[in-house]
Structure 1
Amino acid sequence: MTEHPVARVLPESRLPQLDRLFDYAIPEGMDVRPGVRVRVPMGRGGRLQAGFVVEVLEKSSYEGTLSPIEHLVSPVPVVPPELYRLAQAVASRQAGGVADILRLAVAPRAVRVEKAWLKDSDDSTVTTEPPPDSPTASSHYDPEQWSALWKSGAKHWWQLPYGSASAAEGEIPAGHREIARLAATVLAAGSSVVVCVPDWRDQLFVDQALREWVEAEALAPFVATETPTERYRSYLRTLEARPSVAYGARHAIYAPVSNLGLVLVLSDSDDLHREPLAPYPHSRDVALLRAEQSGAAVVFASHVPSLPVLRLMQMGYLGEVRAQQHTRPRVIPTALGRLSDDVKTPARLPSVAYRAVVEAITQGPVLVQVFHSGYSPGLSCRSCGERARCVECGGPLKTAKRSGPISCGWCGHLATLWSCNECGGSEYRPSGHGVGRTTHELGRAFPGVPIIQSDGESRTARVPGTPALVVATRGAEPVAQGGYRAALLLDAESMLQRASLNALEDTLQGWEWAMSLLAPGAIAYLTDLEGPVAQSVAAGGLEVLLARELVQRGELRMPPTVRLAAISGPRGDVEDLVASLTGPDSRHAAGGQVDALGPIRHDSQATYILRMSYRVAPDIAPELRAAVVRSASKGPRQTARLKVVMDDVDTLDALAVEE
């Protein structure tokens, strides 16, 4: 047994086999507390490894001689016990590593910022500011329902209002202002708030709305425009005992604020809420886990519920708070048509929509939402019409500009000397309409009208209230001063028919966001779509559509009614693991609780998709993690490793394409 206190350290390592606690002796005179950063020797060579101290014990169960901690990196406990417990819960759910979660959650250290923060913390002249005044209650909601949103332990889906609102910097979406109002109300009551949003536009609008009600000292922004130094300053602010509002993209969901009262996730259906790094957690799941552990309220805010949220609402796990007044704009589905030959307009623009634009453009901006980015989503041979494909991978060729270079939509390979495989022709023509081609054709149809393009490359947050055509891809629509006077929702059929399990949900969410930016009384025109979906969108029956989709998902055993695990790696290892979990001897296979789809095979590699009920998923996840650790421990000769990704719908889409 050791004579001095012992620190249990979690290494900051990406190696699965090192994702556990190691005991180290604490040298005399070194002030080591739980949560601090340290460097410790690891392995036979004693190579120094960064890590976090999780516990400090009097004795170790290890009978041998413990290596001492080499260096105390910082005295600041950057991993409070609550954050470590959350990381454990998220890692367990995702069949991943705790260190991987902490790598996402804890901001990188900035020495100067830390020293200044420590000096301010030790300064006896620092006084505690009184809590800010609570903003007035929202007029959009019933007062009792409004106050129920932040009741301890409450869980709700919150329907945001449509339209825009004024802010000091300009117009912002009305929903973002209500989010700031709610956060400021909870802060004034003495509790902290965590707000998690999808992208930079949402971060900008929430930031501007919050600053009208909350003092800057109480804000902890985790936004895309921050430098690493500023991010660490925000992280240290959340470690203080004073309540704060932490807000930003998906990493903000982990902010270790004190006395957490509310966790809010905006537009949880957005793909940006899914972490692209292992173990790939989703902000929605982290929010639910954090609310369960802390007793805080959790709110999912959007115009229409996502399928996972709708499922939880149907189960009674989530309540709902809806706006008192129906502010959704009117939607008119239009049939694809052409005007007479004397009217110069693209054929894809129906006559009723064209007339509406002509009238609305005299009053202010008109929004045109398109599905595809770039100039054209595809190219075809001008001679024979054959689809132009990449010589490297067979993917579709596309171009971002009218006269720009040709590249593959799958692998990005540049096709500088393209020729048709069928006829040998070397000339191509655009196939389909991207945002660039739509902008070009609308410019010809509406000469003299300013056209503003907004997409992933052309970032625009706001446009003035003057006449203009604003052509934007989904999610890139800027806010217009006074709201858009009309909206054209193009490419409806293409959006719904794409090869993706979430095509319907993503499409409906995109349409609702665009419609939320319209001025009062403005109309949205839905083009290239007829039938039940168009009728339901026009009638405002989106939740009926989603409920029907949820029933079909349940019948087909598809998420979110079941959980998924995409297992990939050496074919033999993958097949053995899948067999152990789904075979007749498996304790999980009884009653159809788990089954497998696949395989997708590529030479010696294979991928299976495991489908499992929520009931058995907590038991299967540790077995999957153990298999990953065993694979990683086979030594350097094992170049291909086992990989597990939980709840990855994209892999399911890839399986459908393969079959």
Structure 2
Amino acid sequence: MSSENERAEGGAEGAPPEQLALIRESVRKAAAPRAKPRTWRGAALAAELPVARVLVDKGVLHLDRYFDYAVPAELDADAQPGVRVRVRFGAGRGRVRDGRREGGGLIDGFLVERRADSDYSGPLAALAQVVSPEPVLGEELLGLARAVADRYAGSLADVLQLAVPPRNARAERRSAPAPLPPPAAPGPGTWERYAHGPAYLESLASGGAPRAVWNALPGPEWAEELARAVAAALASGRGALVVLPDGRAVARLDAALTGVLGEGRHAVLTADAGPEKRYARWLAVRRGSVRAVIGTRAAMFAPVRELGLVALWDDGDDSHSEQHAPQPHAREVLLLRAAQDGCAFLLGGWSCTVEAAQLVESGWARPLVASRERVRAAAPLVRTVGDGDLARDEAARAARLPSLAWQAVRDGLRHGPVLVQVPRRGYVPRLACAVCRAPARCRHCAGPLEGQESGAALRCGWCGREESGWHCAQCGSFRLRAQVVGARRTAEELGRAFPAVPVRTSGREQVLDTVPGAPALVVSTPGAEPVAEGGYAAALLLDGWAMLGRPDLRAGEDALRRWIAAAALVRPQSAGGTVLVVAEPTLRPVQALVRWDPVGHAVRELAERAELGFPPVSRMAAVAGPGEAVAEFLRTAELPPEAEVLGPVPMPGTPAGRARRPGAPPAGEHWERALVRVPPGSGAALTTSLKAAQAARMARGGGTPVRVRMDPPDIG
């Protein structure tokens, strides 16, 4: 070849210099080795960054990593980071034929990154399809999802299933509206009732990142106060995100935001909107058309641009805890977002959890509270009826309500509606023998018998069978007494006592949002209390022992939170508002309600938990499953040296005929649960060790399942 090149150059002697240079360049190109274009099954691959790093939608821990795929040239333009893709994955993916990797079933995934080369030495399978060119997974959302997965010992794919809603093609075809300019900074409004309220809004509006735990005053003003905080964040040119416990709270904040900001400045993300509308709103947020988001717990992952504020209302509500793996809590997710984005944080509620008290105690957040004079002016008068009062009360022995309760109801009905909170739904959910007090059980499954409306047969709460000929297996008596009276029975009794007054019920079957301000009796289960126009004239909180007697670490905190949520709907004491709680007055939660001091109650609870080494001072994990499987898991897990294992102890099973509770063992199986706790600072090490042990167990396959949950809400 070299001799041919020399002859070609020699034959060109006497040629002009420009022509001679062209001849030499053509000779050089002809002599250079030709690189074959990269192909897959005969198809050309992308010229630049031909490798796609993909997160497959497989929520198993031993596959919690990225997989590399080749990018065909025809998919090069659409295969950008953040888009949804489909790839071949499975047993066939490991088969190589004619130097090409092929086979496997199609599975969804997210394209995370484009790369020039792969760490994998073998041939790569190619992307099968780009589902949509819409990038839905940005770097911030991916980083947040990874942080949540690491904190809860879960997989990244499981977190993204919670964070990214399912695709809707019609919603993607909609054009995004142009973003509106930032609004003007709002005035303080009712934030002036709090010592540092106006300063908090000023800091938000000026681009600051204040962090506060807000103990809201009773009354309906909380929604407007949250709306003003959102408006202040928008005024600084940033976004805002508020997570609320239920649709009713979202509707109230939605109305308040519309009044403060006007239409089109915020998006509502709830499941009630339907798949298409919810995905369209989510896309508007991701594209930057809307900068403020409110919603229930699924909104905690909303991809708000330039996030300036994250806020959470009533963090003690159970609905903030996700039931799907890895079961994150909205409060912890928003704390991670505040740390990741350096934005402001606001945790608000009428009550106060120990987690909120710890944020203040550690100095991470500042308290945002009103003076005691303001609290006394806004709160109703709270009175108690204890066991001693009930023993001396003839009316209480003959009927369910003490004389003081009847008097409070009568006085309240003269001025407006009266709220009656009953901790149990149904008619008579618990019955016992009137002679020996033995619980009334079903003859078929030993489930608890429940009373229905007057004249109806008894019914089993587990299998649903009716029982018409019950008699006590212990003493043979045919007489029954109510152990617990439900909301429907209470409404029936009150209806007979006050025949001229309308009686409304609000509970699982039908939850009322509002009721008129006219005199009426409103019987509600905790959390379903409707808002009365102008506030309730009085509230009656029955059967306090039923909430305080639960064998759970949070029983007192939850009871106080539910009582305060109901009492906050009552008019102030200056307007005649009265609350009567039927519970032992000497108990700490009852005293906190009388003084309207939820913060003091939370601080004392936090101090006791610190002494005992319980959460939130320590990090804790629950390991549940069949006894042998739990024991083997704990033996193989490389727990931190400071880890302490409590248990295992038997778990209550799922009764036959009843729906299985999240995390409960299947019907007929006997499980055990062990608690693993570590001191502050060792939570990450505990999570890493449990995740590694679970991944190794899944990789081996064929074993009995073991469930791991970080920060379990119930450890009683």
Q: Same fold (TM over 0.5)?
A: yes
2:513 maps to 461
> What's the offset of the Cα at 1:156?
1.1
Residues 491-548 of structure 1 deviation map (CA, whole Å, 9 limit, x = unaligned):
1122111222111000111111111111233111122322143334212333333322
Q: Please name the residue that 2:323 is paired with.
A: 276
The residue that corresponds to 1:95 in the other structure is: 153
- Is 2:554 the counterpart of 1:502? yes
Partner SS state of residue 439, structure 1:
helix
Shift of 1:344: 11
* Residues paired across the two proteins, number: 626
Match of 1:135 among 182, 186, 189: 186
Instruction: Please state if 1:34 is matched with 2:92.
Output: no
1:111 to 166, 169, 172: 169
Partner-residue secondary structure (3-state), 1:379? strand
Instruction: Specify every segment of 5 or more residues in structure 1 that has no aligned partner in the other structure, as ranges.
Output: 164-172, 654-659
1:158 to 186, 209, 214: 214
Task: Please say if 1:179 is aligned against 2:179.
Answer: no
What is the correspondence of 1:70-469 to structure 2 with a 5 Å cutoff?
Answer: 70-116=128-174, 120-121=175-176, 127-139=178-190, 140-141=193-194, 142=196, 143-148=198-203, 152-163=208-219, 173-323=220-370, 325-326=374-375, 327-335=378-386, 336-337=389-390, 347-381=399-433, 385-390=437-442, 394-399=446-451, 401-402=453-454, 408-409=460-461, 411=462, 413-416=464-467, 419=470, 420-423=472-475, 428-469=480-521
Larger-Rg structure: 2
AA aligned opposite 1:528? A
* Structure 1 CA distance for aligned equivalents of residues 61 and 370 of structure 2: 47
Q: Once the two structures are superposed, what CA deviation does each residue of 1:456-495 show, in whole Å capped at 9, x if it has no partner?
A: 2121000000000111111111000000011111111221
Whole-Å separation in 2 of the counterparts to 1:425 and 1:67: 75
Partner of 2:6: none
The 5 Å alignment of 1:480-519 reads 480-519=532-571
Give the secondary structure class of the aligned counterpart of 1:225: helix
Aligned to 2:19: none
2:114 maps to a residue whose letter is V
2:713 matched residue in structure 1: 649
Structure 2: unaligned runs, 5 residues or longer: 1-37, 40-44, 93-102, 654-668
Q: Following the alignment from structure 2 to structure 1, what is the Cα–Cα distance between the partners of residues 620 and 271? A: 30
Residue number among 522, 526, 543 corresponding to 2:581 in the alignment: 526
Post-superposition Cα deviations, 1:428-464, rounded to whole Å, max 9, x if no partner, equal: 5533211111111111222211111111212100000
Change in CA separation of 1:612 and 1:74 when aligned onto 2, cut-off 3 Å: same
Of 586, 600, 612, the residue aligned with 2:678 is: 612
Counterparts in 2 of 1:535-550, with a 5 A limit?
Answer: 535-550=591-606
Judging changes above 3 Å, is the alpha-carbon distance between structure 1 residues 304 and 146 closer, same or farther for their aligned structure 2 residues? Answer: farther
Q: CA deviation at 1:604?
A: 7.6
1:203 shift after superposition: 1.5
Amino acid at match of 1:47: G
Structure 2 equivalent of residue 53 of structure 1: 111
- Structure 1 partner of 2:660: none
Using the alignment, how far apart are the partners of 1:384 and 1:597 within structure 2? 35
Does the 8 Å contact 1:152/1:295 carry over to 2? no
Name which of structure 1's ranges 477-486 and 511-520 shifts more when overlaid on structure 2.
Answer: 511-520
RMSD: 2.6
Separation in 2, partners of 1:149, 1:525: 40
* CA-CA distance at 1:408 after TM superposition: 5.0
2:180·2:265 contact (CA, 8 Å) conserved in 1? no
Change (3 A) 1:137 1:130: same
Identity %: 37
Aligned-partner Cα distance in 2 for 1:415–1:259: 59
Give yes or no for contact 2:61–2:698 (8 Å, CA) kept in 1: yes
Task: Using the TM superposition, name which of 543-552 and 306-315 deviates more.
Answer: 543-552
Q: 8 Å contact 1:379–1:396 — kept in the other structure?
A: yes
Q: Which moved more, 1:499-508 or 1:625-634?
A: 625-634
The residue type equivalent to 1:50 in the other structure is: D
**In the alignment, is the contact (CA less than 8 A) between 1:374 and 1:435 conserved in 2?**
yes
Aligned 8 A contact 1:10 1:21 in 2: yes
Q: CA 1:414–1:312 in 2, change beyond 3 Å: closer, same or farther?
A: farther
* Contact in 2 for aligned 1:566/1:607 (Cα 8 Å): yes
Instruction: Output the amino acid matched with 1:487.
Output: A
**Quick one: structure 1 residues 194 and 424, their matched pair in 2 at CA, closer, same or farther if it must change by over 3 Å?**
same
- Partner of 1:179, secondary structure, is helix
Is the contact made by 1:157 and 1:321 (CA closer than 8 Å) also made in structure 2?
Answer: yes
